[in-house]
Amino acid sequence: MRILLIILFFLMVTQSLTSIMQVKYYQKFIRKITEKFDHCSTYELYTDVSKGSLFKTIVAVVIDANGKIINCYACKGLTIFARFRKEEVYHNITLAEIHQKRINQDRVNSIENVLDKIYLRKMEAISDI
Instruction: Look at 107 and 3; give whichever has higher pLDDT.
Output: 3
The most distant pair of C-alpha atoms in the chain lies apart, rounded to whole Å, by 61
Phi, psi of 105 (to 5 degrees): -115, 145
Reported as a single tens digit per residue, the pLDDT across 67-125 is: 899 999 999 877 677 889 999 999 999 999 998 988 888 788 889 889 999 998 887 76
- Per the model's pLDDT, the better-predicted residue between 129 and 120 turns out to be 120
Cα distances (Å, whole numbers) of residue 70 to 49, 73, 78: 19, 10, 26
Q: Say what the pLDDT of residue 121 is.
A: 86
45-63 pLDDT tens trace = 999 998 877 788 899 999 9
The per-residue pLDDT for 67 is 86
- Encode pLDDT of 70-79 as tens digits: 999 999 877 6
Question: Can you give the pLDDT at residue 87?
Answer: 93
pTM: 0.81
Question: Length of the chain in residues, anyone?
Answer: 129
d(CA 2, CA 8): 10
Comparing 32 with 105, the larger pLDDT belongs to 32
Indicate the residue type of 77. G
> Which residues pair with residue 94 across a beta bridge?
68
List, in sequence order, every beta strand (DSSP E) within the chain: 44-51, 56-63, 69-77, 85-86
Where residue 92 falls (left for φ over 0; alpha for ψ -120 to 50; beta otherwise) is: left
